[in-house]
Copies of this chain bind each other. A is one copy, B any other.
């Protein structure tokens, strides 16, 4: 059945599979020491416009969040995040598993706000007994957020300034970065992100790869002996080439951005369709995830034609569903959705 359940319902973008095929028999050293990892890093540096960043590849989002946060926090520190942040709610305690607390602050459309952050920090440091509490040691944001929303450049600048003042790295979870960068509603570039964040990752899994996220350290701040820390967290792939070849393909001929653009284009058409059929959005999203309010009856009808994610129950009679698009969304998918909605 046609599915809008997520942006990871299909395999890899065909161009990526093709490259895996073409390079398959080349003998290469393991653990990311192959030429494709090297080449992918160079291409990503070009895409960012910075030679001095450090790049590492990991396999998935939860893993990347846990590895980055636990290797960059000091023992006595936790990570500040929106109450709706992925690490707060949907990682099954992966951050706590590493021994660190997630310090929640309010969310506004999935985003945190520099003022709330300042307020939180001032309260913390103003408390005489704050050394009996977890120190805020990093700020986590996702862009796009879990609700598909995006930070403006100005918002990022403000958060970044607070982080600098309090000497906390700013970490951006870019699991869906490709869709964020290609949104028509954004003024944030990859170069902006590299400037304003201390570490971020360029999501592959949800943007065309079979698996893989590219972590970018922007301030010469890659944790020492990072490979060893990755390995002891069970996150080091023997065939690192699997990530190298994929990211090399994603950053050849703008593929990563083309995928983002296409996903956004399909999302815009979904939005138009949803609006046309009189459904309400739970939240305005400029990216590839659309959150739509439906009644139970509408939900049943839709589910007869297409698969969707039931996000949460809004009230006794209404639900929020998520419709996600990606590189793999087809005209036929849209047509099925139209039938489902009509």
Spell out A's residues near B (CB within 8 Å).
1-3, 5-6, 8-12, 14, 17, 20-21, 23-31, 59-67, 70-71, 74-76, 78, 89-94, 96-102, 126-129, 131-135, 205-206, 210-211, 223-225, 227-229, 231-239, 241-242, 307, 310, 312-313, 328
Contacts and interface: CB of A to CB of B under 8 A. Distances in A.
A237 B211 contact: yes
A229 to B, nearest CB: 5
A310 B98 CA distance: 33
A11 B228 contact: no
Contacts of A6: 30, 238
B11 A25 contact: yes
Contacts of A5: 27, 29
B14 A28 contact: no
A178 to B, nearest CB: 15
Contact of A132 (B8, B21, B223, B228): B228
A13 B86 CA distance: 36
So how many copies of this chain end up in the complex?
4
Contacts of A206: 238
A313 to B, nearest CB: 7
Contacts of A131: 92, 225, 227-228, 231
B234 A94 contact: yes
A206 B5 CA distance: 33
Contacts of A25: 10-11, 328
Contacts of A23: 11
B30 A241 contact: no
Given A131-B225, A241-B11, A93 B232 contact: yes
16 contacts: A3-B27, A8-B239, A10-B28, A60-B234, A75-B223, A75-B232, A78-B96, A89-B133, A91-B232, A92-B134, A92-B228, A93-B99, A93-B134, A94-B233, A97-B233, A234-B235
Chain B CB count within 10 A is highest, among A70, A93, A135, for A93
Given A27-B10, A75-B71, A234-B234, A100 B96 contact: yes
